Structure 1
Amino acid sequence: MNPVYGVLQAAMDDSNESIARDVAAIGRIGAVPSMLSVICKNTGLGFAAVARVTEGTWTACAVQDDIQFGLLPGGQLDVHTTLCSESRTMRRPIVVDHASTDPLYREHHTPRIYNIESYISVPIILPNGDYFGNLCAIDPRPALVSDARTLTMFTLFAELIALQLESENERSATEAALLSERTTAELREQFIAVLGHDLRNPLAAVGATAEWLARRSSEPELVTIGTRLRATTRRMSRLIDDVLDFARGRLGTGIGVSLAPVDDLPDALGHVVTELRDANPQRVVLEQIAVDGRVYCDRGRVQQLLSNLLANALTHGAPDQPVRVVVSVDAGELTVCVSNVGAPIAPPDLEKVFEPYWRPATSQPGGGLGLGLYICSQIVNGHGGTLSVSSSVETGTCFVARIPVNDRV
């Protein structure tokens, strides 16, 4: 369904808020007063109105009152005393030139209640087929309103009002969407600030305490606590990094990659392996890092890439099987391969693994946010490389990142 139509349909309930919204919408259509004035002048009728009509309510949205009928915008009549209600039921116009002599309406309650002789009412039907109300006019004197010219004028005016209502609601919906986007962007920026400062600062303090405890070699229990606490703070820091990168990417700035010459990539990646090995002492991680000489890449981002891939393998791999890390450079291309043995990824899921927040159905609670592999794909894309995955019972699961690392400055 068109969202504009959803707005229009939502507007047709009988709550005070909905009624006021529709009265205001008609009030914003600048041509309506002129239409009502033209109707009165061309028909000789003294009262014309745009009415919002539902099964339970009749509400004047705009009026031209030259006979002191006494109804203002927002004023209501008992819908069951009006001919507009019958027009709504039939979804066609009702036209009366002289009620007291008309075979259908001389005994009708509406002309008697409101002391009217001439009457015309044409449905206002929205472009999606919903019934908004009626364009109507009345007078206590008889008048010729059943001629084709008058009915055509009313019909055209009713169609114009319906189109203007659609346009007005489309504008309101667009403004609401823009406001929502603006609010969301502001909240996202605040969220980034909280993650980047209000969470990192206390986490840094905890990390410093963990390092201090881990160095208390004379007190083994404190060393154990410190080591575990350090691993936990590093894992939390990685999660914050992932969420920050994801939020910045959704803001449109993308995940930043700054290429620079790097001479110590083996040490940098070796540090990542050591950190995760220490955090998972019960697991075996076998690494082979063969990178000679200078490469051009974002050192920190490549570390983050390996960290996320290795953390993913440790989380989903069989606990009694090793995880393998192989890093090499050949012909100006850095290859990072992380593999594990365990339950394979189902073929339909292979295309989903790099989507944000995706996690396999077999994931255990607390296994992460489902952003790690998405961040990996963005880091690789930022370097102009590729990231692929293969998975089977025979060979296990293997993620391979290929990144050009020749001098592109």
Structure 2
Amino acid sequence: MVSWVPGADASLFPVENLPYGVFRTAGDGANGPADGSAGPGGGAVGDARDGSPRIGAAIGDFVVDLGALAAGQRHPAEPLLSAATLNDLLAAGPARWREVRGWLAGLLTDPAAENAVRPHLVARDTVEMLLPFDVADYVDFYSSEHHATNVGRLFRPNSDPLPVNWKHLPIGYHGRSGTVAVSRHPVVRPQGQRKDPSSDTPTFGPSQRLDVEVEVGFVVGVPSERSRPVGVADFADHVFGVCLVNDWSARDLQSWEYVPLGPFLGKSFLTSVSPWIVPLDALRHARVDPPPREPEPLPYLRDAPGDPWGLDIELELAINGTVVSRPPFRSMYWTPAQQLAHLTCNGASLRTGDLFASGTVSGPEPGQRGSLLELSWGGADPVWLADGTSRTFLADGDEATIRAWAPGPGGIRLGLGEVRGRVEPARGH
């Protein structure tokens, strides 16, 4: 499809993408002329209203103010698109998702609609992006065989690297939804108990082994009934779209606390997500078969015939601007459809705004590892940056950025945006 929006077709946010987010402007006219005259790149800039949160879709270098556009068009989805979060739209279900997406794509590719839409374009580099949905529950999985094997070798060097159950079920843990934050939220170094291997007792203080985890997240739209599992084949009936996740991890806190119940304070201090939610419908050309699984999963976890949910997503991790890793999501052992099926197999219900993440994405090569724990091999092999400094774990002032792309129709690339965060010193206790 060809869009009349300047530069959109050559961007990572063409009309084939159209991710959703929530934004606000300064509310003081600082984003450009309020009369809709030409803005950056020749596009008009919408009226800077009162700076309140608004739902938008990314197209090229712009954001479409969807609430204002729907009101002007008298579109029946206007109440959903005029809300302050995506939750009402998420709950509306696949038929409404497709209808809204088709309506928007039609307007952005129809030259006759340009004059009606142009006043509702806002330059993307002038807005503040907000957390796009109210997070109900947060679950993090552990679905990369390469990551799990690496971590097992580091944490349990004298045991089998994979737990005995790992190839039978998608292992996960319940996180803390209240500490999920949008990209660019400050990463305050956490404090807690940590124990040096050479010491008999633990100490309390700021984490000395602060790490990143490159992950992909999945946002639930349609809830499910309690006690009724959601099958692998029903994944797209409930999941709205995809975002990027950095599950920041304090490895020293984690290694001391994780036996016997798993992650707790080492991860609950912050989880960052990208501001744009890419609809599943935009990722049709990214779907691939998952890797072979041996042994064959139990029936409730088997891939739906002809409907695989492996995804060919390219990820990139940069520290202070230096790309240090490129993890491939297509290598993930457990798919998001299997994760959702396992999450609900005991009768646990889904809620609108649930977020579940893939777990750290790592590939088979050293340059494809999705955490500093793996990249530095537990601190034994520092990672070198372009400025000549090295890291084993994150220092105060460091900025970590995760970006991602997926294939689209006709060989184009679709961007999933980025999630970034800068580390700040620990605060007083």
TM range (shorter): under 0.3
TM superposition score normalised by structure 2: 0.23
* Structure with greater contact order relative to length (CA < 8 Å, sep ≥ 6): 2
TM superposition score normalised by structure 1: 0.23
Q: Which structure has greater helix proportion?
A: 1
Structure showing greater radius of gyration is 1
